[in-house]
């Protein structure tokens, strides 16, 4: 058994302030005994893509340096939410400048990046509340599905990012024991779908879900952008075992029991009943 923590933040477009706050919350989680701590999607910066080019670089570069130092100092695993990684290649958005990847990474207790994943499914949606999102205008999609990552925690970890949560085939393909879903769900869609989607993915895959989140008004002050919050942890039976609520920054902490995984998969062996010969 070990403790995991899902961090809940209200990120803006001041990267230095966001990083300082992320490190504070990581420290709080480690202080409570968490060995796996997740940051939300876009924890480092929410704002115009042109601002990201001032700091965006490779995932092994300066952006995650202080997070990696923290992991090594406190001997914890960290899901590094998602950062802006410069995309290679000739593609350019209409606004000019190279596109970025929305990239998450898993960092070991030695401060090493053991895996990185670039968000496959991009959020191009007109929300009925009037908001318009076109992630693909500035973000390039990843081109490789993630793999389950073996860890010293006794569980295999799978990586995904936010909108990926709506595509169950991705999680089935990964086949992990604990899935990470760093997110910035809109208040409109989150109210209707956030918890039910997390619980569904947990039940379908008989796996834990670690879901860090953005909360409240996020991004530049002149943008009316609101995130649902409710950073949470869901167990393999689909029970929400920790929830940070929908109002404030903070952390949701809960125990992860590898034995619970075995119990659920033994008592209801649905994964063994999959018809791979026809599906």
Residue positions annotated with a catalytic role: 41, 119, 162
Cα separation, 124 vs 232, in Å, equals 25
DSSP H helical segments within 194-244, as ranges? 195-205
Q: Rounded to whole angstroms, what are the CA distances from 137 to 96, 144, 186? A: 10, 20, 18
DSSP lists the bridge partners of residue 228 as 215
Q: Which helix (H) or strand (E) holds 216?
A: strand 213-217
Whether the CB-CB separation of 69 and 26 falls below 8 Å is answered with: no
Residue-wise over 121-151: b if at least 16 C-beta within 10 A, else e?
bbbeeeeeeebebebeebbbebeeebebbeb
């Amino acid at each position: 058994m070990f403790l995991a923590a899902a961090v809940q933040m209200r990120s803006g477009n001041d990267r230095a302030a966001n990083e300082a706050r992320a490190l504070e919350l990581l420290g709080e989680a480690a202080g409570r005994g968490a060995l796996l701590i997740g940051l939300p999607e876009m924890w480092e910066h929410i704002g115009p893509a042109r601002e990201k080019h001032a700091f965006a670089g490779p995932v092994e570069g300066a952006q995650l340096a202080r997070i990696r130092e923290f992991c090594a100092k406190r001997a914890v695993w960290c899901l590094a939410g998602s950062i802006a990684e410069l995309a290679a290649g000739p593609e350019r958005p209409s606004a000019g400048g190279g596109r970025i990847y929305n990239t998450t990474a898993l960092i070991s207790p030695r401060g090493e990046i053991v895996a990185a994943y670039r968000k496959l499914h991009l959020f191009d949606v007109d929300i009925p509340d009037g908001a318009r999102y076109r992630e693909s205008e500035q973000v390039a999609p990843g081109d490789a599905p993630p793999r389950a990552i073996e860890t010293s925690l006794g569980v295999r970890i799978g990586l995904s990012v936010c909108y990926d949560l709506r595509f169950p085939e991705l999680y089935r393909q990964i086949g992990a024991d604990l899935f990470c879903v760093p997110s910035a769900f809109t208040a409109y869609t989150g109210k209707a779908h956030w918890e039910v989607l997390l619980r569904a993915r947990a039940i379908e895959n008989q796996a834990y879900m670690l879901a860090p989140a953005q909360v409240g008004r996020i991004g530049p002050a002149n943008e009316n952008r609101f995130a649902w919050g409710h950073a949470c942890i869901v167990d393999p039976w689909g029970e929400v075992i920790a929830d940070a609520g929908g109002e404030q920054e903070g952390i949701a902490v809960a125990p992860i029991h590898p034995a619970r995984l075995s119990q659920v998969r033994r008592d209801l062996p649905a994964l063994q009943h999959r018809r791979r010969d026809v599906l």
